[in-house]
Amino acid sequence: MISKLLILLGAGCICVLFQGCTYKAWYEGFQEGQRNDCYTIESSTERQGCIERVDNLTYEEYKKSRNDLIRELE
């Protein structure tokens, strides 16, 4: 029982340590999902526009925009 608890605590610590990296990975995964959705659009001009909209927002821009919004709401 105690060994299982220690394993869970260790895994939790690792997750906290790598949390900054996982936010960026999460964003890139979400962006990839949006890009995949764009490929389902039949019209090539609409599809290209969709891909450009997805690719135009970098993680750093997203993070800045998110932080600005959080500050506004406080």
Cβ pair 62, 39 in contact under 8 A:
no
Grouping H, G, I as helix, E, B as strand and the rest as coil, residue 42 is: coil
- pLDDT at position 18: 56
pLDDT over 70 (residue 14): no
The Cα 57–Cα 67 span in angstroms is 15
Cα dihedral 7→8→11→15 (10° resolution): -170
- For the full predicted model, state whether its pTM sits above 0.75: no
pLDDT over 60 (residue 25): yes
- pLDDT at position 22: 79
